[in-house]
């Protein structure tokens, strides 16, 4: 009777790769979980750095972000946050938007996430290297 169980119908390679019927759903889930877990300490460190530079002038912020560790942590926070946001919005769009508007909404989601990520990375690198 093991042939009727959900795991009995899968090949051994399919069980190892954790691939579902669509062959890609678990990749988005794993990415969402990894970025969500990464965002916990990165968010705390971002708030701590934000509070540290809150009362500094522009040159003080540039000096702080000119150091490698704060700049790398902020870039990691931006990248993880944008990826997490894009995947979350994609799942919401796929659940609630129907018809031909779904493709347009997905395209707008990707474009918005890319533009937001590029703008934030550019601003951080500009503050870090100037």
Q: Is 0.95 topped by the overall pTM?
A: no
Q: How far apart are CA 94 and CA 108, in angstroms?
A: 13
Chunked mean pLDDT (size 10), the chain, 130 residues: 55 60 72 95 96 92 92 96 96 92 95 98 90
Residue 115's nearest CA partner among 93, 88, 90, 86 is 86
Instruction: Evaluate whether the domain defined by 24-129 bears CATH number 3.40.50.300.
Output: no
- In the chain, where the domains are located: 24-129
Residue 82, number of CB atoms within 10 A of its CB: 20
Dihedral (Cα; 26, 29, 35, 36), 10-degree rounding: -150
Identify whether the C-beta of residue 74 lies closer than 8 Å to the C-beta of residue 65.
yes
What letter would DSSP give residue 66?
T
């Amino acid at each position: 009777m093991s042939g009727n169980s959900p795991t009995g119908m899968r090949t051994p390679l399919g069980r190892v790769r954790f691939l579902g019927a669509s062959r890609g759903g678990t990749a988005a889930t794993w990415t969402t979980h990894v970025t969500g877990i990464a965002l916990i300490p990165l968010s705390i460190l971002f708030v701590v750095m934000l509070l540290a530079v809150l009362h500094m002038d522009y040159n003080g912020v540039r000096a702080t972000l000119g150091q490698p560790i704060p700049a790398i942590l902020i870039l990691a926070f931006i990248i993880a946050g944008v990826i997490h946001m894009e995947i979350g919005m994609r799942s919401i769009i796929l659940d609630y938007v129907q018809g031909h508007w779904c493709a347009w909404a997905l395209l707008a989601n990707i474009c918005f996430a890319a533009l937001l990520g590029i703008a934030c990375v550019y601003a951080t690198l500009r503050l870090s290297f100037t």
